[in-house]
Chains A and B, each alone.
Chain A
Amino acid sequence: MLRKLFKFHGGVKPATHKDAATASPIVTPPLPARLKVPLHQSIGGTPRPLVKAGDKVLKGQRIGGADGNVSSAVHAPTSGTVLAVEPVVTAHASGLSTLSVIIEPDGEERWIERQPIDLRATPADEIRDYLRDQGVVGLGGAVFPSHLKLKASREKPTRTLVINGAECEPFITCDDMLMRERAAGIVSGIRVMRQILGAEEVIVGIEDNKPAAVDAMTLAVQTAGLDQVSVVAIPTRYPAGGAKQLIRVLTGIEVPHGARSTDYGVQCFNVGTAYAIHEALELDQPLISRIVTVAGNVGQPRNYEVLFGTPMNELVALAGELPGTDAYIMGGPMMGFRMPAFDVPVVKATNCVLVSSPSLFPPPPPEMNCIRCGECAKACPADLQPFELYWFSRAKNFGKAQEYHLFDCIECGCCSYVCPSHIRLVDYYRFAKSEIWARERDKDAADAARERFDFRNLRQEREKQEKAARLAAKAAETRAKLAGESGDDDKTTSSAKPSQAEEAKKALIAAALEKARQQKERAPVPPRNTDNLSADKQAEIDAIEARRAAARQEAE
């Protein structure tokens, strides 16, 4: 069947380097000695740890519970003993550590009890919760929790479900191999998703440089007898595998930044996610492993089915790491990130471990000035004017950058790829974006603080007034009493009392501020506020001081 395909603007065609890793089938590496499973592996809240050091865990047991709805659970990839729950350097460009569960496998691979849910009898809401607790997230690299995406928009029915098998980044072949070897499972997952979303049609988009995957998927769809699903080969052009670009190519719909694609009647999932959904719902296997391509500076590029938490260097060793390696890149050469260490764990976002060497990816030539040649604008799939964004980001003119749609940039790297001045444009956008986010966080915090401060002042004011009212009432009472006895001779007391109270309050605040300032001036002297204390408070303080002295002595 011929389908009308659409085009997206720009794009580039780097050499694909995909053949070597598709020559051999997917294999499962041996169990590593230690698995370091980070809890934070998806967009959203960091899951709470559910185990502690010393616990025995079973394969598939939940070790991190989703924190709120925008979060996703994490599971033990194998059975064994929890050695520690501690921060470990994670697979993130920042090189920072996140809380991780360190598991020593016992080699038995004992599963928890599994019981696939009855999809027909379960309402969609429960299926979604179930997916969250099974830890299913987008495996295309964005790791957005899938249960959140499996929800039709209120305004518009979801007409089209797009399944992303484009895999446009050079070197990466994990989706290709998955489609070749496990097409039936993917199709099964597609059927479930179609059911939950109520989509009329499903289009599987695969770049035309993967004929074997197209054939395998077509066959699986035919075998399953799903006539609403079509498998479509699309022209090979990076970044055709970007969700927005793929939706555009297959349906002609452009989903702007910040909008949910379901509001446009379309939703997009990666083939790996479809397979994970099939496993999670129909086999009751939570997401504990994924297909990872190991490519680049290795003897035998290949795809592995890897348990999360496996150190990358052990994986790369299996593929025959060649000398000269200077770093691992997680993801492809266009959008991947350099890993801070060689032993960072494989996580849900790891579609590829690209072994980099200076000869494979030489350092960029020195950056020159932008000559406004417009090459970047020609290549930008988001129809942006990258050089304008570059000027603004570089000048830290963030307002202007946003006006020129900085946040519509998908960081695909096409602009840096083509720039004849070798400007690392995307770096400037990443910088500007994270700076803008930080400012927004600060601004939100400041607004909240202002509100709380105003509220507190209001409360204090009210309390003051209430107190004044109470005092006035009391005074009136006394006066009434006095009036009964003598003439009205104390007008002064009634008005003086509240103002005295106010004075006292003011003095207190002034004293506090004054103290704060004094304390700053004589910094070395520890701050104290031990004047005018009641006897029992003093006693308590003395006791504490004694405890402290004791503790200090012990320490010494």
Chain B
Amino acid sequence: MNTSPYLRKTTAVNSVMLRVLIALLPAICAYAWQFGAAILVQLAISTATALFAEAAMLAARGKPARLYLTDLSAVVTAWLIALSFSPITPWWLMVTATLVAIVIAKHLYGGLGQNPFNPAMVAFCTMIVAFPALMSQWPGAGQLDFHTQLELILGGARQLDAITAATPLDALRTGLREGGADVTVPGLMAGPAFGALGGAGWEWIALGYLIGGLFLLQQRIITWHMPAAFLLALAATALLMWGMRPDRFGSPIFHLASGGTMLAAFFIVTDPVSGATTPKGKLIFAAAIGALTYVIRSFGAYPDGIAFAVLLLNICVPLIDMQTQPPVFGHKRD
């Protein structure tokens, strides 16, 4: 039976997802320019794996494959994974991570729209817990040529410590921890791994994400709530600590421009499926992730805290949503 409304807007899920992918392009370009083409290889690996896993899961669950494959949600997940992993991650690790995201985090919970956790972040956390060493090897900007990168990805000998540096975030923390009292943040930041604002090269990528994020805002695919709350909360916590001990903690600018901050602000925290949905809830959700990220970055054992912060807050989503239901028409004053 056909019922009203008989008119529909023509936007479909795949057009939303497509625009998200487009919004990722500036950052990918910056990435390839700063760190070499390895990221493109990673994107290809994860996309292929994701599509394959999605198709297999849809077939297993008796769902129409073409309909759901063309919604492009698997591709978005794949790209987010590739972008949040090191560009020299071995291929099998990338494949495993993507499988974890699609099969476990997405389909075992019921597929598109049903997953309580952000699939990309589930993949990240699982891998960092399982392979902490491999996950913390990041090349410096322009450090490795494409050939070496490819060799690393496809599993050549890994003389790793020689060729890779830790991420700026990692470097900062370990540097502070191991260096004793005479090592200070300004001192460390003068090193080659750091650029003007954050990590060398990372600033450009962050700028790319920022441009993409503004595009999404302009397209009304995301609302301002989450990015603003996330960035503000992260900056505010950083400012607080930095204000007290500028020699022991990174500046707010450093935190905004490093690691996955910008990626998270516009593409990960804003994942609608696993995030809070009410306007107030979005603010709380994103702000909590921001603050938690800072805490894990500064005091935890892992290079970046975003993934854990996101998963922790994913758990709280039902509660946040329930507590922040906006007032309904006509019931506003009671």
Contacts and interface: CB of A to CB of B under 8 A. Distances in A.
Contact of B3 (A257, A365, A374, A427): A427
Contacts of B73: 371
B12 A420 contact: yes
Contacts of B331: 256, 405, 408
Nearest 4 A/B pairs, CB to CB:
A256-B330, A413-B5, A369-B113, A361-B6
Nearest to A336: B4
A254 B113 contact: no
B1 A338 contact: yes
Interface string B31-53: 00000000000000000000000
Interface in B140-173: none
Contact of A369 (B114, B326, B332): B114
Nearest to A414: B5
Interface string A25-66: 000000000000000000000000000000000000000000
Interface in A415-460: 416-418, 420-422, 424, 426-427, 430
Interface of A: 8-9, 12, 14, 93, 170, 244, 248, 254-257, 259, 327, 329, 331, 333-338, 356, 361, 363-366, 368-375, 377, 381-385, 387-388, 404-405, 408, 413, 416-418, 420-422, 424, 426-427, 430
Given A8-B329, A372-B272, A381-B329, A420 B114 contact: no
B73 to A, nearest CB: 8
Contact of B328 (A334, A384, A418): A384
Contacts of B112: 368-369, 371
Interface of B: 1-9, 11-13, 15-16, 64, 67-68, 71, 73, 110-114, 223, 272-273, 275, 277-278, 321, 325-332
Given A371-B13, A421-B113, A14 B329 contact: no
Given A377-B277, A404-B325, A366 B67 contact: yes
A400 to B, nearest CB: 10
B113 A372 contact: yes
Nearest to A410: B329
28 contacts: A9-B329, A170-B7, A248-B329, A254-B330, A254-B332, A259-B330, A327-B2, A333-B7, A334-B6, A361-B2, A361-B6, A368-B13, A371-B13, A371-B273, A372-B273, A374-B272, A382-B328, A385-B277, A405-B331, A408-B328, A408-B329, A408-B330, A416-B8, A420-B13, A420-B15, A420-B16, A421-B12, A426-B5
A368 B68 contact: yes
B11 A385 contact: no
Given A256-B329, A417-B7, A420-B15, A338 B2 contact: yes
Contacts of A374: 223, 272, 277
B113 A416 contact: no
Q: Which of B15, B113, B329 has the most CB of A within 10 A?
A: B329
B114 to A, nearest CB: 6
Chain A contact surface mostly: loop
A370 B112 CA distance: 8
A329 B113 contact: no
Chain B contact surface mostly: loop
Given A383-B327, A426-B4, 7 more contacts: A255-B330, A327-B2, A334-B5, A372-B275, A382-B328, A385-B278, A420-B16
B194 to A, nearest CB: 38
A165 to B, nearest CB: 22
B27 to A, nearest CB: 22
A420 B11 contact: yes
Contacts of A413: 4-5
B9 A254 contact: no
A377 B325 CA distance: 11
B68 A383 contact: no
A357 to B, nearest CB: 11
Given A254-B332, A420-B11, A366 B64 contact: yes
Nearest to A361: B6
Q: Which of B8, B67, B111 has the most CB of A within 10 A?
A: B8
Contacts of B9: 12, 417-418
B272 to A, nearest CB: 5
Contact of B6 (A336, A377, A405, A408): A336
A533 B4 CA distance: 63
Contacts of A12: 9
Q: Which of A368, A388, A405 has the most CB of B within 10 A?
A: A368
Contact of B4 (A333, A372, A384): A333
B113 A370 contact: yes
B58 to A, nearest CB: 12
Nearest to A377: B277
Contacts of B68: 368
A363 B140 CA distance: 54
